[in-house]
Amino acid sequence: MNGCVQTAILGLLIAAPFLGLETAAAEKPNVVIIFCDDLGYGDLACFGHPTIATPNLDRMAREGQKWTNFYAAAPVCTPSRAALMTGRLPIRNGMCSATRRVLFPDSAGGLPKEEVTIADALRAAGYATACVGKWHLGHLPEYLPTEQGFDSYFGIPYSNDMDRVAESPKGRAAFLHPRPEYWNVPLVRGKEIIERPANQHMLTRRYTEEAVNFIKACREKPFFLYLAHSMPHVPLFASEDFNGKSLRGLFGDVIEEIDWSVGEVLGALGDLGLAEKTLVLFTSDNGPWLIFDQHGGSAGLLREGKGSTWEGGMREPTIFWWPGRIPPGVVRELGATLDMLPTCAKLCKAPLPDDLVLDGYDISPALLGTGPSPRKEMFFYRDTQLYAVRRGPFKAHFTTRSAYGADKAETHDPPLLYQLEHDPSEKCDVAAKHPEIVAELRQLAKSHQKTVVPVRSQLDEKLIDIRQDLSKRRQE
């Protein structure tokens, strides 16, 4: 029996006690989320880049919806991915820390098992589920995708710059002149390492082939595919077909290969007659890693990049595509990766626990053209601290700090205030002109923070600390 069919049957059996079976599976859309790593707001042609060619994403934007005010929930990898998967701010589930910004190969934690992921919800509704690409929500067996609602997993468990070997060039040299042997990153299928070090030149191509094969295998059943590219996170690698081809250099080569990948996925859906049955989202986990110069991307006219709570760190180039179902156009209302769990649950008729505290909204009215986006505000966390709040066009910064500089956090009283529709580059502080808006956003922040219950950080525990503690206990 086909593995995809087996997992779909298992999902139906799990869901049977609480799932209304009056809706046929054929009415449920497939869902594909294509998630990039460190892609900047200005890195696609359809978002303004003058020399990177992205014809497939341009087509996706023409035929679908380009969202210009869509946010990741954090400015770095791990907390951002946790928010996408759970619809919850990382401060609620411990996927952030005041000392470690992301998970590392020596980390002992991961996404808590009690969290409900998009994959959990959709598998319970009869979906086949696959994770392809970068995970970064825990590399230990108990935290891998197959323990978080996914039937299958193929990819690397954390960022492609981790597991750096001691013999690699010191400092930035390894990133500016990258070679695969400088890193010992594992490639995993299920829970088994099948290649180490992974051939990073081939990651985008192999992810794409795996994704297309999953779509073909599961075309008779509803499916959820999470395709999380490792690129354009440094070190940058492209396959031979794309290396040296872009006017933008190596970074452009990487983006153009991702664009090719999008074309392969959309092409497979079209060839199989699934285009009108499939919602596809393309976005990124955070903004560009600007400290890597030409190996980092561009936030366009937005301020700063990855690691910061300025717009360039968290506002993402975002495209939704669902031919025949969502009206094409530009959507300027607010949206966020946090919204994908409740939106998918609504569209896919997947029940969620009644007591689940979500920070996401069902944005399907805005997608389907039946109403406005319910998201009116956005909270900007850096690690465990709330730095800024946006409501409507106004954004207040209570605390600021450069993404990766040596400066310390600076508190602002009154907060800095920007009108983002007039000033998306956050250059002109208008707090003095709008004291009533400042007061409103202060109160919004206070009300939100009252809903946050402190939990143990999953990022703070290290394997070496746990092993030392166990050894000490044995000695005692």
Q: What is the pLDDT of residue 469?
A: 55
Structure tokens at 209: 């082939």
Structure tokens at 145: 């995708």
Q: What is the pLDDT of residue 468?
A: 55
Work out the pLDDT band at 21, boundaries 50, 70, 90: very low
Q: What is the pLDDT of residue 465?
A: 65
In tens, the pLDDT along 285-310 reads 999 999 999 999 999 999 999 999 99
In tens, the pLDDT along 213-237 reads 999 999 999 999 999 999 999 999 9
Is 464 or 319 the better-scoring residue by pLDDT? Answer: 319
Distance, in Å, from the CA atom of 291 to the CA atom of 406, rounded to the nearest integer, reads: 13
Q: Quick one: average pLDDT of 35-40?
A: 98
Work out the pLDDT band at 8, boundaries 50, 70, 90: very low
Give the CA radius of gyration of the chain: 21
Whose CA is closest to 78, among 159, 174, 166, 18? Answer: 159
Q: Quick one: average pLDDT of 53-70?
A: 98
In this predicted structure, the answer to whether residue 120 has a pLDDT above a threshold of 60 is yes
Work out the pLDDT band at 27, boundaries 50, 70, 90: confident
Q: Is 223 helix (H, G, I), strand (E, B) or coil?
A: strand
Q: Which helix (H) or strand (E) holds 428?
A: none
Q: What is the pLDDT of residue 1?
A: 43
Domain boundaries 385-449, corresponding CATH code: 3.30.1120.10
Q: Quick one: average pLDDT of 122-139?
A: 98
Q: Which of 5-9, 93-97, 158-162, 345-349 has the lowest mean pLDDT?
A: 5-9
In tens, the pLDDT along 424-471 reads 999 999 999 999 999 999 999 999 999 999 899 999 999 976 555 544
In tens, the pLDDT along 245-286 reads 999 999 999 999 999 999 999 999 999 999 999 999 999 999
Give CATH 3.30.1120.10 domain extents, the chain.
Answer: 385-449
In this predicted structure, the answer to whether residue 158 has a pLDDT above a threshold of 60 is yes
Give CATH 3.40.720.10 domain extents, the chain.
Answer: 3-17+25-376
CB contact set of 438 (below 8 Å; sequence gap of 6+): 396, 414, 415, 417, 431
Please answer whether residues 121 and 344 qualify as being in contact, where contact means their C-beta atoms are separated by less than 8 angstroms: yes
Specify the CATH superfamily of domain 3-17+25-376: Alkaline Phosphatase, subunit A (3.40.720.10)
Q: Quick one: average pLDDT of 38-67?
A: 98
Q: What is the pLDDT of residue 236?
A: 98
In this predicted structure, the answer to whether residue 20 has a pLDDT above a threshold of 80 is no
Kindly list the strands in the beta sheet with 329-336, ordered across the sheet, starting from the edge strand earlier in the chain.
192-195, 187-189, 152-155, 128-133, 223-228, 30-36, 278-284, 318-321, 65-71, 329-336
- Please confirm, yes or no, whether 136 is among the known catalytic residues: yes
- Candidates 36, 96, 136, 218; catalytic one: 136
Distance, in Å, from the CA atom of 146 to the CA atom of 130, rounded to the nearest integer, reads: 9
In this predicted structure, the answer to whether residue 331 has a pLDDT above a threshold of 60 is yes
Whose CA is closest to 299, among 71, 123, 89, 471? Answer: 71
Distance, in Å, from the CA atom of 262 to the CA atom of 283, rounded to the nearest integer, reads: 12
- Candidates 4, 36, 77, 344; catalytic one: 77
Whose CA is closest to 281, among 211, 351, 346, 226? Answer: 226
Q: What is the DSSP letter of 372?
A: -
In this predicted structure, the answer to whether residue 3 has a pLDDT above a threshold of 50 is no
What is the average pLDDT score of the chain? Answer: 93
Distance, in Å, from the CA atom of 81 to the CA atom of 37, rounded to the nearest integer, reads: 10
> Which residues are bridge partners to 391 per DSSP?
377, 394
pLDDT > 90 in the chain, percent: 91
Q: What is the pLDDT of residue 187?
A: 98
**Whole-Å CA distances, 278 to 54, 148, 164, 251:** 21, 22, 39, 30
